[in-house]
């Protein structure tokens, strides 16, 4: 399972990671084509969202949890 491939372009799935967890945001109308404003799917968005986003971890609770992000 590779997060980078679930970017809404390589495959239909749209996944993002936030605070060590990977979420499936495929069903969100806000993530069409793998982008949401200036954010791109298929990657860890923790630093971007912590710095810029007006919402918190709570927004991700609406989406299915796929896995934990593996650190290398």
| pLDDT tens per residue across span 13-30 | 999 999 999 999 999 999
Task: Match 């969100």 to its residue by tokens.
Answer: 28
Return the pLDDT at 59: 86
Please report where in the chains the tokens 């793998």 appear, as a residue: 34
Residue 48 makes CB contacts below 8 A (sequence gap 6+) with 39
Which CATH number does 3-68 carry? Answer: 3.10.120.10
The 3-state DSSP class for residue 17 equals strand
pLDDT < 70 positions in the chain: 1, 52-55, 71-72
Residue 68 has φ and ψ, to the nearest 5°, of -95, 145
Domain boundaries, the chain: 3-68
* Beta-bridge partner residues of 64: none
Q: Which residue, chain included where needed, has tokens 């986003």? A: 53
Q: What is the pLDDT of residue 70?
A: 81
- pTM of the entire predicted model: 0.86
């Amino acid at each position: 399972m590779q997060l980078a491939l679930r970017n809404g372009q390589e495959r239909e799935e749209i996944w993002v990671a936030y605070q060590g967890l990977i979420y499936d945001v495929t069903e969100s109308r806000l993530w069409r084509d793998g982008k949401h404003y200036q954010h791109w799917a298929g990657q860890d968005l923790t630093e971007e969202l912590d710095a810029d986003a007006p919402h918190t971890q709570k927004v991700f609770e609406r989406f299915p949890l796929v896995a934990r992000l593996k650190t290398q």
